[in-house]
Amino acid sequence: MAQGAFHGAVLRRHGPADEPIFSLIWPANPPNSSDVAPAGAAAKEPNVPTVRPTDHRLVKSTLFAAATCIAAVFAAAPFAAADPASVPPAPGLSGPELGAPRAFSFDMLASRAAALAARPYAPTPVHQPEVLEKIDYDAHWKIFFRPETSLMIGDTAAQFFHLGTYFRQPVKIFAVEDGTARELVYSTGYFDMPEDSPAHALQPDAGFAGFRLMRPDMKTDWISFLGAAYFRSDGALKQYGLSARGIALNTGMSVPEEFPRFTEFYLEPGPDGRTIVNALLDGPSVAGAYRMVLGDQPGQGQIMDITARLFFRAPVERLGIAPLTSMFWYSESNRFQSADWRPEVHDTDGLMIETGAGEHIWRPLNNPDRVVTSSYFDQDIKGFGLIQRDRDFENYQDDGVFYDKRPAVWVEPTSPWGAGAVQLIEIPTDDEIFDNIVAFWNPETKPQAGDEMTFSYRLHWTATPPVEMKLAHTVATRIGNGGVPGQPRPKDQIKVVVDFEGPALKGLTRKDGILPKVSAPQGVVIINPFVLPVVGTDRWRMVFDLKAPPGTETVDLRAFLTRKGKPLTETWLGQIHPDQIERLR
């Protein structure tokens, strides 16, 4: 099947309504594949961000593998060879045309970013918007990148994305070798397209929308950079899902969110077969230089070592470092919010944190009926991430987009980050096509105009975070009506059921004195907390009811299991919305 036929893919929308940013979620086996912190109580900020989802549907529906999916336009896999059998081996690639050489180093790139920040912001112009508007869904899927024109970065092939109605601002791409950079010269000859394609009307120097790096078989890619400062990888299970960004500015606030762009990329061979992506960032309030050392480890996922040097033009109220963007519609915890036939629909089911003091935290995600920002304060945090823990296909039943295979992303600081907070922003959604979850590190110090900041961290795109934890972990959170089965149910009570599993619980019995420890805000009553083993499994279940004062919007809970005064499990941080539950009853 020709690659570019996007059946089974989902187009995701990010960004403000007046200037949306799009990306594509590709199935586990797309066409042309080889198979054709101590964190405290959360603080809410009920401000409406510019990224709030709307009801406007931006994509076309199609049927794929008996599942209702979205046919989409671009990204992780579109522009490759028309047929896997026709792809020549990497050594035979002729490569694209390159421009004149110029000296390059990461320090030089950082100096350019500093110079940019000292001048007023000048956005990348959009040329020929009337032509780009015509390169819509139907026109785009007919455009194929010619693999023989791939750019070889060491042993890794880079392929490029065409501009169109969803990606209008071009980026510059350079090949770097031995301290010398040469720009990739755009040509329509890199793409196969129909004679009547509107893309033929673009100027000869139109430029590229982004790029992706290919695996050795030249059939699938493992990372793509496309749109603003977004990038994504497919993890250990080779399934695209959540995205990362270079930076987040004023996300989830009443002031407009900014979306700085990677405007230039400098690609060079790295050590041990890895690829180095140097990127220039620019936006109204900040410019920056990024050095990303990327490696794909078959069966394990991807590791990205990132250094970001940031130079601020203007004050920033909320700075987000290592931001992750994902989707959570519903799971076993809020199944009552959807009439969809699938049991669960989400890219991620929880926020995981390892604090500077070594506490392990799990915060299940919600789909609230208003924007909620939660802050978990810490000092020199060890790591955090948006994690898809549930890997059981039976809990999703979607063999078109395979939510059970979506990657987890773990952020590991490799330089001291000091004081700050992991901030989690949850935005209402009623569909899977909207990214409604954002998590990032928010430094305690707010940047001012003229400030410079440097952050280094490692991103792990994997199935399971690389965190050593002897404690048991949370495997499910369920919410329902309070009271006792068979008796009248009190309308002012909510039942919370949390399952734990792991080495610390294995082999224990009811006689071993396992106790639940549950704490709640003042005024919220915890009723009859108890714990019991789940028959036929190694899991233990914590059960309790809670009663909150009428009109309570949010209840933040903290719980774990103990034995002889010592914790057996990670800390479960549950956030319950009694008013929303009451309205949905």
Distance separating alpha carbons of residues 221 and 372, to the nearest angstrom: 35
Structural domain includes residue 276: yes
Instruction: Judge whether residue 35 has pLDDT over 70.
Output: no
| pLDDT for the residue numbered 14 | 56
Query: Among the three residues 462, 496, 517, which one is the final residue of a domain in this structure?
Result: 462
74 vs 347, more confident: 347
CATH number of the domain residue 166 falls in: 2.70.98.10
Closest to 62 (Cα-Cα) out of 73, 74, 72: 72
Asked whether the predicted pLDDT for residue 270 surpasses 90, the reply is yes
**Burial bucket for residue 58 (CB in 10 Å: 0-12, 13-18, 19+):** middle
Q: Tell me: do 404 and 361 sit in the same domain.
A: yes
Question: 500 and 569 in contact (C-beta within 8 Å)?
Answer: yes
Percent of the chain predicted with pLDDT > 90: 79
Residue 31 has pLDDT above 60, yes or no: no
- Return the pLDDT at 21: 54
Q: How far is CA 344 from the centre of its chain?
A: 18
> Does residue 2 register a pLDDT over 50?
no
Q: Kindly report the pTM of this predicted structure.
A: 0.86
Higher-confidence residue of 81 and 383: namely 383
Predicted confidence at residue 276, as pLDDT, reads: 99
Distance CA 333, CA 526 (A): 19
pLDDT in tens, 407-434: 999 999 999 999 999 999 999 999 999 9
Name the phi and psi angles at 203, rounded to 5: -65, 155
Express each pLDDT in 365-398 by its tens digit: 999 999 999 999 999 999 999 999 999 999 999 9
Q: Cβ–Cβ contacts within 10 Å for residue 384, how many?
A: 30
| Closest by Cα among 277, 4, 239 to 151 | 277
Closest CA to 385 of 405, 415, 365: 365
How many angstroms separate the first and last alpha carbons of the chain? 47
CA distances from 275 to 34, 94, 191, 271, 521 (A): 23, 20, 24, 8, 49
Q: What is the rounded average pLDDT of the residues 481-498?
A: 92
Mean pLDDT of the chain: 87
For residue 229, is pLDDT > 70? yes
pLDDT at position 585 is 65
Whether residues 251 and 279 fall in one domain: yes
Q: Find the mean pLDDT for residues 566-577.
A: 98
3 state SS of 450: coil
Whether 375 and 506 map to the same domain: the answer is no
Does 63 score more than 50 pLDDT? no
Domain count, the chain: 2
Amino acid, res. 22: F
pLDDT given at position 70: 22
On the question of pLDDT at 136 being above 60, the answer is yes
Specify the 3-state DSSP secondary structure of 171: strand
pLDDT for residue 94:
66
Final residue in a domain of this structure, among 429, 462, 495: 462
One domain for residues 374 and 501: no
Range of the domain at 576: 473-584
pLDDT-derived band at 83 (thresholds 50, 70, 90) equals: very low
- Res 197: pLDDT: 95
Sign of the torsion formed by the C-alpha atoms of 95, 96, 102 and 103 = negative
Cα–Cα dist 140/525, whole Å: 57
Are both 457 and 477 inside the same structural domain?
no
574 shares a domain with 554:
yes
Q: How far apart are CA 425 and CA 575, in angstroms?
A: 13
Contact by Cβ (8 Å): 149, 190? yes
Among 211, 2, 191, which Cα is nearest to 86's?
2
The CATH number of residue 575's host domain is 2.60.40.10
- Given 402, 428, 462, which residue is the final one in a domain? 462
CA–CA separation, 292 vs 274, rounded Å? 10
pLDDT in tens, 3-28: 332 333 444 555 544 445 544 443 43
Q: How far is 173 from 158, CA to CA, in rounded Å? A: 10
User: Given pLDDT bands bounded at 50, 70 and 90, which one contains residue 449?
Assistant: very high
pLDDT of residue 242: 98
Mean pLDDT for the stretch of residues 58-73: 25
The CA distances from residue 244 to 9, 304, 426, in Å, are 19, 11, 16
> In whole angstroms, what separates CA 439 from the centre of its chain?
9
Which residues are paired to 212 by β-bridges?
A: 159, 224
Report residue 581's pLDDT band, with 50, 70 and 90 as the boundaries: confident
Do 491 and 437 lie in one domain? The reply is: no
Do residue 342 and residue 479 come from a single domain? no
* Single-letter residue type at 128: Q
Same domain, 512 and 453: no
**Are 444 and 493 part of one and the same domain?**
no
Mean pLDDT calculated for residue range 170-184: 97
409 and 364 co-located in one domain: yes
